[in-house]
């Protein structure tokens, strides 16, 4: 099973700043099948990015994904108030076991 480790656990930033969230895999993620989800309190996770860098429908272009192999990054270019949430990475290149990272909480500073 592929283990995903996200860092940092908590990231405290101010609106307008740039955020970089890291996701490291214990082995190479096949076909770059790596997704990112955003979760706000009391809500289900919502798909942000799939295939490492493709934004889901309706996702603003301030969100971008990059990386390959075992190292991946979600970048939010300029934080908006609604971006403060928990972010999870997930790999779907190892079927059927689709694993999630433990999450990064993006806090308002």
Tell me which residues touch another protein (CB under 8 A). Answer: 1, 31, 33, 35, 37, 43-47, 50, 56, 88, 90, 92-93, 95-103
Residue 25 CA to residue 87 CA, distance in Å, equals: 16
Q: 21 exposed, middle or buried (CB, 10 Å; 0-12, 13-18, 19+)?
A: buried
Query: Is the CB of 16 or the CB of 97 nearer to another protein?
Result: 97
Query: Is the CB of 15 or the CB of 69 nearer to another protein?
Result: 69
Query: Is the CB of 13 or the CB of 56 nearer to another protein?
Result: 56
Considering the complex, what minimum distance in angstroms separates the CB of residue 73 from another protein?
Answer: 17
Stated as kind and residue range, the H or E segment containing 91 is: strand 86-91
Radius of gyration of the chain (CA): 13
Query: Is the CB of 9 or the CB of 16 nearer to another protein?
Result: 9
Say if residues 38 and 103 touch (Cβ distance below 8 Å): no
Angstrom CA distances, 26 to 2, 44, 69, stand at 6, 26, 10
Considering the complex, what minimum distance in angstroms separates the CB of residue 102 from another protein?
Answer: 5
Considering the complex, what minimum distance in angstroms separates the CB of residue 38 from another protein?
Answer: 12
Considering the complex, what minimum distance in angstroms separates the CB of residue 92 from another protein?
Answer: 5
């Amino acid at each position: 099973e592929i283990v995903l480790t996200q860092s940092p656990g908590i990231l405290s930033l101010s609106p307008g700043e740039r955020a970089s969230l890291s996701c490291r895999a214990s082995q190479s993620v096949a076909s770059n099948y790596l997704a990112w989800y955003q979760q706000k309190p009391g809500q289900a996770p919502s798909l942000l990015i799939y295939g490492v860098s493709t934004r889901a429908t309706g996702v603003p272009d301030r969100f971008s994904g990059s990386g390959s192999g075992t190292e991946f990054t979600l970048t939010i270019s300029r934080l908006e108030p609604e971006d403060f949430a928990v972010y999870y990475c997930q790999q779907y290149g190892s079927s059927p076991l689709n694993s999630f990272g433990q999450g990064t909480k993006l806090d308002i500073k």
